[in-house]
Amino acid sequence: MLTWATLALIAGAAIALQASINAQLGVQLRSALLGTAVAFAVSWAVSALAIVVSVRQYPNLATIQAVPWYLWLGGLFSAFGVGLFYFLIPRMGVGSMMSFALSGQILVAVICSHFGWFDLPVKPISVVRGLGIAALLAGIALINWE
């Protein structure tokens, strides 16, 4: 059976592949924004099909109304971030873009975990985590060294 870490690595690989493919779609269509829209349309269709096949019980109106307003904003961050991916990859290269993007993801994730934002488990920033962040930044510098 696959471990959570293995599945996370596979997810990361899928993100790198889809970003590369969809960035080139944007280049071919001469619009990173159009490439983003096509990617999200396909994602929506696949997600809708998965919902139809797998969801047994849908949330009721009271459950939907109880969701904090800010949790509905994830799609805005997705469209913004993914759109920037597709715009920047043809200009920076996928390796450089993904290394900087991953750094941004990890830095924000460490901050979110430190404060327990969005009801996530709290994992305080420690000396060891600080060293990990420093190693990450050093690695990004080495990856992008020219």
Average pLDDT over residues 28-47: 95
Residue 116 has φ and ψ, to the nearest 5°, of 70, 30
How far is it, in rounded angstroms, from Cα 10 to Cα 144?
23
What does the pLDDT look like over 56-104, one tens digit per residue? Answer: 999 999 999 999 999 999 999 999 999 999 999 999 988 899 899 989 9
Q: How far apart are CA 58 and CA 51, in angstroms?
A: 10
How confident is the model over 96-125, as pLDDT tens digits? 998 999 899 989 999 999 999 998 899 999
101 within 8 A of 135, measured Cβ to Cβ: no
pLDDT greater than 80 at residue 2: no
